[in-house]
Amino acid sequence: MVKLQEICPDLLTINNRVRQKRKDYISYDFTRIKNDILKSFFDLAQEFESLNDFYRICVTVPRDSLKVESRLYLLDKTEQNFELVCDTQKGIYREKPKAPATIRLADQPYEEGDSYIVPILRHNFRAEGFPSLQSDTKRILGMLEVFPANRLSDSDRFFFTKYTNRIGFNLHNRQVAQQNIQHLKFINNLVRDIEHNVIVPNMYFKHIFNQLKKRIGNLEELHDTVVSLKKTHDIESKLCDMVAGKISDLRDMLSANHKELLEYHATISLFLESLFRPDHFKKGHLVLRPKKCLVEKEIIVPQLEYFSKRFKTKGIAIERPKDMLEEEVPLMVDLGLLAQVYSNFFSNAVKYTETIHYKNGSSRKAMAYGREYIIDFFGDGKDGIKFNVFTTGEHISPTDALNIFEDGYRVASRSTVSGEGHGLSFIRHVVEIHGGVAGYEPTAEGNNFYFVLPLHDVEPQLVLDY
């Protein structure tokens, strides 16, 4: 007979663990009621999908059978403090109050007053392909408080250590699944950002290349003309001047195209660097590379030059502030991401700026930008700087104003203009991870889109949600 280890050593290991588990359960000597509690918990944990329902199951199952009350505490985002999320008396706590001092970080059960408090431990887990989920430095997920403790026998106390093991296993898997969803959502939105901010605008290259090809062809025609004239010896000074002038003009235009290409290349390279950082994909969220910079000179002006021809073609005047170019603002910002904020603002301005008419018969069609300092905007002693991008035109409706920064939202009256409703959502996200806020406000002559960033060396915030 072939020995099991000769077929599959790993299978032998599993077989030994199965036998050991059977012996363990015999030694546990759980009553039928306690075994039913474990079975009920396992079945219900699979039946209900939401986290809140799972929390309710954790506290309700033992109450029904063992006639004890319980409270479920979980670590908050800082992993330093416990929050009360659910109990058998009030159910789910929406506000998640901070746990009392009696609930402390401990990897072993302990008694406090009339309560028996058991740690909920994270089980070993590795999420391949998601490095941000592979940390196992902290095993404690939360604590289960059971009371009154005087109703618990030694067997009951031991049972709750096994019961919280089941909670920890299920809770950890649910948290990992939720993080996976957030990670995939982030990547999906990042792909949309790349398409919206890089791939679609990159089609503009084709237009510039066509211009270059046409003008190079004109130069070739002039070259052929000059060669032909030389062959016939029918060359006049005025004709030569005319040809030389045209060649000079074409050369200037080609130089301008070349400059435009270099500027466009610099912008796209900056966008690509800020969107394709490996850290984004490793962490599952945008990772900032903040630095001090001259906001107008290094961020706004390069984007303005890129859009200047389109503003001119649409007859939109550009109104620039007089006191901002060399201004050193005490800000730490991600230059690449903030440049894309202005790129989206200016792109919208090209699309939506409208002419307004005054009673005296004059009119105005303009885009203006600037900044202003706001004292205590983020609280006492926490000043902010507000960056504005204003365009003339009809106001956005109050309903649209409330929703316009939501991803995919389009203003109904402007649905005929090309777009996906993603630009303002991207702006809000970038501003928020810088610790700021983005918004819209109607003004006397049009619409002002703005964002406010904190001053005084406020650290940028990293967020998982998009």
The mean predicted confidence, pLDDT, of the chain is 83
DSSP letters spanning 108-147: S-EEETTEEEEEEEPPP---TT-GGG---S--EEEEEEEE
Residue whose C-alpha is closest to residue 338's, from 279, 281, 267, 421: 267
Q: Report the CATH fold assignment for 279-454.
A: Heat Shock Protein 90 (3.30.565)
What is the pLDDT at residue 338? 94
What is the pLDDT at residue 237? 61
DSSP letters spanning 343-370: HHHHHHHHHH---EE-TTS-EE-EEEEE
Distance between CA atoms of residues 206 and 264, nearest Å: 12
Condensed to tens digits (0 to 9), the pLDDT of residues 213-224 reads 788 788 778 777
Percent of the chain scoring above 90 in pLDDT = 42
Structural domain spans, the chain: 16-182, 203-275, 279-454
- Asked if the model's pLDDT at residue 310 lies above 70, the reply is yes
What is the pLDDT at residue 10? 73
How many helices, marked H, and strands, marked E, lie in the chain? Answer: 13, 13
**Mean pLDDT (whole number) for 262-285:** 79
- Asked if the model's pLDDT at residue 445 lies above 90, the reply is yes
CB proximity list for 323: less than 8 A, separation 6 or greater: none
What is the pLDDT at residue 340? 93
- Asked if the model's pLDDT at residue 147 lies above 50, the reply is yes
What is the pLDDT at residue 60? 92
Q: How confident is the model at residue 8 (pLDDT cuts 50, 70, 90)?
A: low
What is the pLDDT at residue 459? 47
What is the pLDDT at residue 131? 42
DSSP code for 79: S
What is the pLDDT at residue 138? 58
Condensed to tens digits (0 to 9), the pLDDT of residues 65-105 reads 888 999 999 998 777 889 999 999 999 999 899 999 999 98
Condensed to tens digits (0 to 9), the pLDDT of residues 386-423 reads 999 999 999 999 999 999 999 888 887 676 676 677 88
What is the pLDDT at residue 236? 62
Percent of the chain scoring above 70 in pLDDT = 86
Same fold, 16-182 and 279-454: no
- Asked if the model's pLDDT at residue 260 lies above 70, the reply is yes
**Mean pLDDT (whole number) for 264-268:** 78
Q: What pTM was computed for the model?
A: 0.55
Give the CA angle between residues 394, 400, 406 to the nearest 5°. Answer: 130
Condensed to tens digits (0 to 9), the pLDDT of residues 171-203 reads 888 888 877 777 777 877 777 777 677 666 666
What is the pLDDT at residue 312? 95
Per the CB < 8 A criterion, the answer to whether 223 and 247 are in contact is no
Distance between CA atoms of residues 66 and 46, nearest Å: 22
Highest mean pLDDT among 169-178, 303-312, 326-335, 457-466: 303-312
Q: How confident is the model at residue 283 (pLDDT cuts 50, 70, 90)?
A: confident
Q: How confident is the model at residue 273 (pLDDT cuts 50, 70, 90)?
A: confident
Distance between CA atoms of residues 418 and 441, nearest Å: 23
Highest mean pLDDT among 36-45, 115-124, 360-369: 360-369
Per the CB < 8 A criterion, the answer to whether 171 and 128 are in contact is no
Q: Which residue has the tokens 């096994």?
A: 162
What is the pLDDT at residue 149? 92
Residue whose C-alpha is closest to residue 95's, from 86, 104, 106: 86
Of 381 and 413, which is predicted with more confidence? 381
- The CATH architecture annotation of domain 16-182 reads 2-Layer Sandwich (3.30)
- Asked if the model's pLDDT at residue 371 lies above 60, the reply is yes
